[in-house]
A and B are shown apart, each in its own frame.
Chain A
Amino acid sequence: MKTRYTYGGDEHIYVEMDDEMSLDAFFKSLSMSNAVRDAGIEGVTEICPANASFQVRFDPEVITPEAMMKKVQELEHKSADAEKRLKTRIIEIPVYYQDPWTHETLMRFRERHQDPSGTDLDYAARINGFDRAEDFIEAHHAQPWFVSMVGFVAGLPFLYQLVGREQQLQVPKYLRPRTDTPKQTVGYGGCFSCIYSVRGAGGYQMFGVTPMPIFDPEQKQSYLRDFMVFFKPGDIVKWKPINREEYDRILAEVEADTYVPRIAEVDFDLEAFNADMAGTNAKLMEALNVA
């Protein structure tokens, strides 16, 4: 990993921890962006952590770009020393895989896809060496995921699976982006899963849909009372496959503003995870059983 510093115009500093994705790069970017926030540097207006990079926006009338760059660079050693531990939460997200709504949408945009003859899941399964879409779905939800970035549009989480690199699922984005994606579609692009927080354009493959809103400017759901965006970087997600009946039941609760997602407080230790991935994940998921 080699950190790269650069400017984004005269108002942004962009720091790339690594050009490839890894949990190490994610942890370093999260801890360094936290260090910049904690430093309370005058003139900083926004700090945006991403998967393996982060960005600082500043007011060049308050602090010169050069001085800002120096201050950010000085904080790198802090993040190197930071313990790779996180107090966070694991959230169970119900997913209706192979639902009728994303199916309708993917058929509508078939000519923009690598394989117009099948579905997004058939394609993803095949190129990842699975015989059946069901086996790919199993690989998608069996192990938990880290929210490694929130963004693109309002409240959309990017997720990175907590498995070794050889087990990572990889699927290219659509050849040409769609102009439509159903709200709360569970998508996939590169090595990232995502949940489309709102309806709109998108280039990720579509696997299913969750009935659980994750962005609501009206903040009607109990778990969105504090803020209209549900996810933050560092959250851990466990997908739970559901069928149509369960989907309809949860949707009814959502419409009555009574749905309560299953959430447990957990500690995540990167070194413990690297030493024993299966064991660490099993413990994380156990926490959900008592939530």
Chain B
Amino acid sequence: MSLKVIQPGLSTSIQDLGRPGYFHLGIPIGGAMDRFALRVANMLVGNPEGAAGLEVVFLGPEILFEKDALVAVTGADLPAKVDGEPQEAWTAFEVKAGQTLSFDFLKSGARAYIAISGGLDTPPALGSRSTYPIGALGGIEGRNVQAGDVIPLGETEMIEPGLNVPAHLRRLPGTPAELRVLPGLYWHRLTAAAQEGFFDDDWSVALEADRMGYRFKGGKPLAFVDREQPFGAGADPSNIVDGCYSYGSIQVPGGLEPIVLHRDAVSGGGYFTLGAVISADMDLIGQLQPHTPVKFRKVDMDEALEARSARKKMLAAVRTHLG
């Protein structure tokens, strides 16, 4: 028994927690951009935290249910409706066979996560159901969800509806959104003034913001320390001999617009990177709409690890709350 996609929304894809282990071949980890939101949605409907759900960008889909199921919507504030009846966000609700799940317009955030009891049961590729369209892996035939798709659901015992996660256990970015950055990688390529300017300047999310990476604009161009370019690096001072890219790493082609690589990152290339957004703030990026003001804040490794541990604690608190 399954779901039938009537309208897909703008860019709806099947995602779980990704496929680690193939980045050395250019296949990124992928999976939900906001992992916390997907985990919580799954918990609310009684699924394992890593079950596959739908990642919805800006505009919700319309989905006909062919069997009774529990549903939870987390992440962005995208109000859900069942046969037109409004439903609570971050709360498990029931959808009966023959009913339709649809959505009102987005109120805040960028990506909502829909978990459905049993989880989406499409065929895994390299150990994950996450959709990676560039490599035609996961999802349905390696692509985003389309109208007319039939998505199989896994078998499960349905728990009671009504589980809810209170506001203090949810997470959405503030305004301006603050992204914490650990300088490193090719940080030494920037002049001292550019290093300071990057953190002092006001940035905002550019239109080119997707699962591969988020681009930012509005800050001053970054200046580079003078050098004769090394053999094989290319002539532009922002070029390096093509190397690996870290998840969260920040490249600035030509010193102009920073790009933070996300879950569907390219695995390497020829641009210098000035450091990386810390792992604790990666989920937040997935909730940024274009034009959102952003400040980058410099942290050291101790702060990065404390922030990471705070994220773990919050997830543990949700687990405790939901019993």
> A residues engaging B (CB < 8 A)?
6-12, 14, 16, 18-22, 45-55, 57, 60-61, 64-66, 149-156, 158, 160, 165, 168, 170, 172-173, 189-192, 197-198, 200, 215, 217, 229, 232
Contacts and interface: CB of A to CB of B under 8 A. Distances in A.
Nearest to B189: A19
Nearest to A33: B24
B301 interface: yes
A7 B244 contact: no
Contacts of B305: 10, 60, 64-65
B227 to A, nearest CB: 9
25 contacts: A8-B185, A9-B184, A9-B247, A9-B276, A20-B241, A22-B231, A45-B20, A48-B268, A50-B243, A50-B268, A51-B242, A57-B247, A60-B305, A150-B25, A151-B244, A151-B266, A152-B267, A153-B267, A155-B25, A156-B26, A190-B232, A190-B233, A191-B232, A192-B242, A229-B25
B241 A51 contact: yes
Contact of A7 (B135, B184, B230, B233): B184
A152 B26 contact: yes
Interface in B225-260: 230-235, 239-244, 246-249
Contacts of B247: 9, 11-12, 57
3 closest cross-chain pairs (CB), A and B: A8-B246, A21-B232, A9-B276
Contacts, number: 181
A217 B26 contact: no
B86 interface: no
A216 to B, nearest CB: 9
A10 B134 contact: no
A17 to B, nearest CB: 10
Given A12-B246, A190-B232, A153 B185 contact: no
Report whether over half of chain B's contact residues are helix, strand or loop; otherwise say mixed.
mixed
B27 A154 contact: yes
Contacts of A48: 23-24, 244, 267-268
A284 B154 CA distance: 53
Interface of B: 20-21, 23-27, 125, 132, 134-137, 142, 182, 184-185, 187, 230-235, 239-244, 246-249, 266-270, 273, 275-279, 301, 304-305, 308, 312
Contacts of B185: 6-8, 14
A22 B242 CA distance: 12
B46 to A, nearest CB: 26
Contact of A158 (B135, B234, B242): B242
A55 B186 CA distance: 13
Contacts of B182: 7, 9-10
A65 B301 contact: yes
B133 to A, nearest CB: 10
A66 B300 CA distance: 13
B49 to A, nearest CB: 16
B134 A7 contact: no
Contacts of B267: 48, 151-153
B240 A19 contact: yes
